Chains A and B, each alone.
Chain A
Amino acid sequence: MQTSRLFLDFIPVIIWALLAMALVIIMLLASWVLRPHVLQNSEKTSTYECGEEPVGPARISYPYNYFVYTVLFVVIDVMGAFLWLLSSSTLLWANATKYEVVWQVVVFILIVMGGVGFVMKMIPRSFLDGKETLDVYRRAKAEREKEQYPTGGH
């Protein structure tokens, strides 16, 4: 029977997690004890905006373009996990493997970084640019005017 188990090695982590949870609970309780308990009113329950009169709810829908940053984060996260596995091994030091693996790593990083670079180049173009909007607006206006005065005016 196996006597030492991996899960038992992580008991310090569990103790730390319990301590962290206890800290949160203690802090919440302490602030509840220390703060003045006054009745709630509309001023207290309104959305917090520093020095401004709050307008509308706090949770609004943001432009979709920001979603790309999260996809970028997930991609870098997965890349980091793979590279972490590599860094915790001796593959890049052992003579038997280092010449083959280093090319794998270079190609992997180039592919992912190429994708990230492409996204960083394209994100500004994916936003609705004021200049382009104005351009389209002017062109549409000119076309409409041409339709209205086919003879070219007076």
Chain B
Amino acid sequence: MQGFDPALFEQIEFLLLAGIVLVLAYLALEHKEIVYAAFFFGFMASFVAGFFLLLEAPFIAGMQIAVYTGGISTLIIFAVLLLPRAQDSTLEKFATPRARQISLVIAVVVTVMTGFLAVLFPWAESFNEAFVSISQDLNGLAQWLWFENGIYVQMIALIMITSLVGAISLLRMDKAEQLGAITGEFGVEAKPVLIDDLQSAEDGQSVPEPKEVDE
């Protein structure tokens, strides 16, 4: 093709992807409906996979879509389902102008520092030629991961079952707490107590023998 410069095409692709990711990330942070924000996070994660395709790393792109768009988005949507709804209730907190200004300043500082790092970092020298070739070759990548570094795969499996055991132990603690409420003073068993002598109760004296109300 005459006059077609792949390098320029790459630049345009990158700028397009970066713009889409930034807009979706902003929407994921700032959307009023939290379920919509979770969906925008999922879309953002799948567009980030585009970066990995641009870097010619198909396995990481697939991993990004499977784990982030599939797994982490589901995790966030589930968390939204499980938590009590703060939106439109008295629990809802609105950002004050001061908090917004502070967060804007922090965002600008982080952006400028990241920009400096991106410009100053010697990217070209940091790449290892061996890794560049295996990132494009699934067979080579599988050989590197499963054959040469198999112990790390087992470590990932152990870390994953740690998350499972942790989730179960948290639930057991929650259950023990709920069962404790039944035996406690203010649990289901506690019946409303009638105080005959209101004056002495207000004075802080001990109430003789509280009567329980029959059902």
Contact = CB atoms under 8 A, between A and B. Distances in A.
B174 interface: yes
A60 B178 CA distance: 19
Contact of A68 (B56, B59, B171): B171
A97 B63 CA distance: 24
A137 B188 contact: yes
B11 interface: no
Contacts of B6: 1-3, 5
B165 A118 contact: yes
Contacts of A114: 161
Contacts of A82: 145, 153, 156
Interface string B42-78: 0000000010011010110011001100111011001
B105 interface: no
Interface string A98-132: 00110011011001101110110011011110001
Contacts of B78: 66-67, 70
Contact of A111 (B54, B136, B139, B158): B158
Contacts of A28: none
B130 interface: no
Contacts of B187: 140
Centre residue among B83, B138, B187 by max chain A CB count within 10 A: B138
A16 interface: no
A152 interface: no
B31 to A, nearest CB: 15
B141 A85 contact: yes
Nearest to A88: B138
A79 interface: yes
A79 B168 contact: no
Interface string B190-211: 0000000000000000000000
Contacts of B142: 85-86, 88-89, 91
A123 B58 CA distance: 37
B111 interface: no
Given A5-B56, A61-B82, A78 B67 contact: yes
Size class of the contact patch on chain B: 35 or more
B71 A64 contact: no
B131 interface: no
A101 B146 contact: yes
A81 B154 contact: no
B29 interface: no
Interface in B17-45: none
B168 A126 contact: yes
Nearest to B78: A70
B167 A67 contact: yes
8 contacts: A61-B85, A63-B82, A68-B168, A100-B147, A104-B146, A126-B172, A133-B182, A137-B189
Interface of A: 1-3, 5-7, 10, 57, 59-68, 70-75, 77-82, 84-86, 88-91, 97, 100-101, 104-105, 107-108, 111-112, 114-116, 118-119, 122-123, 125-128, 132-133, 136-137, 139-141, 144
Interface of B: 6-7, 10, 13, 50, 53-54, 56, 58-59, 62-63, 66-67, 70-72, 74-75, 78-79, 81-85, 136, 138-139, 141-143, 145-147, 150, 153-154, 156-158, 160-161, 163-165, 167-168, 170-172, 174-175, 178-179, 182-183, 187-189
